[in-house]
A and B are shown apart, each in its own frame.
Chain A
């Protein structure tokens, strides 16, 4: 018997607040992630006003920011930097990762492997509340004198070493977030290895589970160096050390009274050692979700499942040895530049294998164009653009022209925004019935999807053009002071209007999300006629998940099996 035989009714605060149930924790992560995605989105909308209409008062809310940030409602450059640094930090560490890994991972992984919960439920709870504390710290840092961190999400030394106290809060916040991820990754790995149901061998695992498994290893081994770097930067800021401060540093005309002897490049190495694998943390769970939704809505097995899994493992391994392609412009010699360029080109191969396999999976399928499938389908070309635009950045020579331009911003946003976030939307629409017992509205879903797709491209495609023209990133006036950028000013306005349109396009989603909790059509256990194990549990699953321990008899994508009486054979079905 897997469900709790004791039936002691837990008090409200232990059932819903300090819960050790992976489903409650998963929903906590999802809600927190979505809230921070919204907050990070708002930060970006403010930036886009400044880019579209430089030095004009922010309408309606301009007076709220005070004279330190926006005197007369006009954004100061430091405020722009604050928005930029925190937009990146919040989207990556408080938005996407908690949603993709903490949210979907916690909610779905134990169900898909037929487990009663995660291997370490109490540690799971601690990892969520660590994230929460990190979020409070990051959000609270806006209220410090001098504002929040404003040295880029990359916090490069020496600037970050001497920045205002918001940077110290950023470092402390990161330590909470890193702790959360480390604890979570240990849980995911042990759970996947040890708690698979009987008959569920590794190559019968869903691609989603594989993706979460590899992602957990990336988090486990790549985050600690950033944690170390954070400690070192805290030492620089609080104990006056010089880990990242070179000899004879002059700031505002004055020599900095520090011992020197440090290296700003050291910060970059330690930061990017994490931050490169981090971008694969951002994409792998998304690929996992897309794979599930595509297999289900083509009524066909995934094409090349084994190749996809091997590609995933190879990708995870390679992601640790490409990081200095973010540092080609730091005076690197040609030997090491060649090394990192080569590994970067090699790592594109498994990405292409996975994307191609997902595309080929569509061939001959009986495609159902429901909302999750629309988002999953859109992911494919969007991730394609994101990936292709990465190639000239990964090659040292073209990177000379493109580094730190809007081309970079366009590239990575294509991968994360119409890439990962679309996949996450697909996941929400797909698994909402399992988590709540109700289906979301298809009509509202389409009103969410189509404008989002159009506006996403409206925001990010022009960035690629601007970057090719040489417009630098992180310019508080959007490049208006540069002659050559003057002609791309209209593009700034078009992008900003697309961003605000994108905001409006999310309204149907928010309405749908909350309304369907009450008014959505009741979903049974398996409203999508899916094969994977989570659909054998009730919707929503009770504490303990399954009434009897599930047994798995076959692989995860047995759709349209010749001779079967239905067009899908669940993994847990006998015979």
Chain B
């Protein structure tokens, strides 16, 4: 009573396309670093942007998130909210410190 073979084959095609995209994007990451903007700010922005696109592809397609159930989405949304708090509040606090 395996799952629908045609459905799986369709998925496999998508996986291979995502694979190709990820390879291209990895190349793009290195290219952007070598020949991209020189200033620190834009370099970071470009690198993170590409990383976010790659991560999204992995999450949506390899991890089947594009077709997941609502409960999982809620858990992840909650996690992302707290992740952002963890990432930014210590920095903001340090930058708002009393200096002599």
Q: Which A residues form the contact surface with B (CB < 8 A)?
A: 193, 217, 221, 225, 263, 265-266, 269, 273, 317, 320-321, 324, 327, 330-336
Pick the residue among A221, A266, A333 that contacts B90 (CB under 8 A).
Answer: A266
List 20 A–B pairs whose Cβ atoms lie within 8 Å, in order of A's numbering: A217-B78, A221-B79, A225-B86, A263-B94, A265-B90, A265-B93, A269-B89, A269-B90, A269-B93, A273-B86, A320-B82, A320-B85, A321-B85, A321-B89, A324-B93, A332-B93, A333-B93, A333-B96, A334-B96, A336-B89
Residues of B within 8 A of A263 (CB): 94
Q: Which of B79, B86, B93 has the most CB of A within 10 A?
A: B93
Residue of B nearest to A189 (CB): B75
Chain B interface residue bracket vs A: 10 to 19
Residues of B within 8 A of A333 (CB): 93, 96-98
How far does the alpha carbon of A335 sit from the alpha carbon of B85 in the complex, in Å?
16
How far does the alpha carbon of A467 sit from the alpha carbon of B70 in the complex, in Å?
49
Closest Cβ–Cβ distance, residue A360 to chain B (whole Å): 31
Residues of B within 8 A of A265 (CB): 90, 93-94
How far does the alpha carbon of A335 sit from the alpha carbon of B93 in the complex, in Å?
9
Q: Which of B79, B86, B98 has the most CB of A within 10 A?
A: B86
Task: Encode B72-100 as 1/0 by CB contact (under 8 A) with A.
Answer: 00000011001001100110111011100
Residue of B nearest to A333 (CB): B96
Pick the residue among B82, B92, B96 that contacts A221 (CB under 8 A).
Answer: B82
**Given A221-B79, A266-B90, 13 additional A-B pairs, CB 8 A:** A217-B78, A225-B86, A263-B94, A265-B90, A265-B94, A273-B86, A324-B89, A332-B98, A333-B93, A333-B97, A336-B89, A336-B93, A336-B96
Q: 4 closest pairs, A vs B, by CB? A: A333-B96, A269-B90, A336-B96, A336-B93
Residue of A nearest to B91 (CB): A269
B71 contacts partner chain A, Cβ-Cβ < 8 Å: yes
How far does the alpha carbon of A317 sit from the alpha carbon of B85 in the complex, in Å?
12
Residue of A nearest to B83 (CB): A221
How far does the alpha carbon of A327 sit from the alpha carbon of B71 in the complex, in Å?
35
How far does the alpha carbon of A50 sit from the alpha carbon of B94 in the complex, in Å?
39
Pick the residue among A221, A273, A317, A331 that contacts B97 (CB under 8 A).
Answer: A331
How far does the alpha carbon of A265 sit from the alpha carbon of B78 in the complex, in Å?
26
Closest Cβ–Cβ distance, residue A218 to chain B (whole Å): 10
Query: Contact at A331–B98, with CB atoms within 8 Å?
Result: yes
Query: Contact at B96–A335, with CB atoms within 8 Å?
Result: yes
How far does the alpha carbon of A330 sit from the alpha carbon of B99 in the complex, in Å?
11
How far does the alpha carbon of A321 sit from the alpha carbon of B82 in the complex, in Å?
8
How far does the alpha carbon of A193 sit from the alpha carbon of B92 in the complex, in Å?
36
Closest Cβ–Cβ distance, residue A284 to chain B (whole Å): 17
Residue of A nearest to B95 (CB): A333
Closest Cβ–Cβ distance, residue B73 to chain A (whole Å): 14
Query: Contact at B79–A332, with CB atoms within 8 Å?
Result: no
Residues of B within 8 A of A321 (CB): 85, 89
Residue of A nearest to B99 (CB): A331
Closest Cβ–Cβ distance, residue A487 to chain B (whole Å): 34
How far does the alpha carbon of A221 sit from the alpha carbon of B77 in the complex, in Å?
12
Residues of A within 8 A of B90 (CB): 265-266, 269
Residues of B within 8 A of A335 (CB): 96
Residues of A within 8 A of B98 (CB): 331-333
Residues of B within 8 A of A334 (CB): 96
Residues of A within 8 A of B97 (CB): 330-333
Residues of B within 8 A of A324 (CB): 89, 93
Residues of A within 8 A of B71 (CB): 193
Closest Cβ–Cβ distance, residue A243 to chain B (whole Å): 13
Residue of B nearest to A324 (CB): B93
Residues of B within 8 A of A221 (CB): 78-79, 82
Q: Which of A225, A317, A320 has the most CB of B within 10 A?
A: A320
Query: Contact at A336–B78, with CB atoms within 8 Å?
Result: no
Residues of A within 8 A of B96 (CB): 332-336
How far does the alpha carbon of A321 sit from the alpha carbon of B78 in the complex, in Å?
13
How far does the alpha carbon of A320 sit from the alpha carbon of B90 in the complex, in Å?
13
Residue of A nearest to B100 (CB): A331
How far does the alpha carbon of A332 sit from the alpha carbon of B96 in the complex, in Å?
6
Query: Contact at A336–B86, with CB atoms within 8 Å?
Result: no
Closest Cβ–Cβ distance, residue B80 to chain A (whole Å): 11
How far does the alpha carbon of A320 sit from the alpha carbon of B85 in the complex, in Å?
8
How far does the alpha carbon of A209 sit from the alpha carbon of B50 in the complex, in Å?
43
How far does the alpha carbon of A57 sit from the alpha carbon of B31 in the complex, in Å?
73
Task: Encode B23-47 as 1/0 by CB contact (under 8 A) with A.
Answer: 0000000000000000000000000
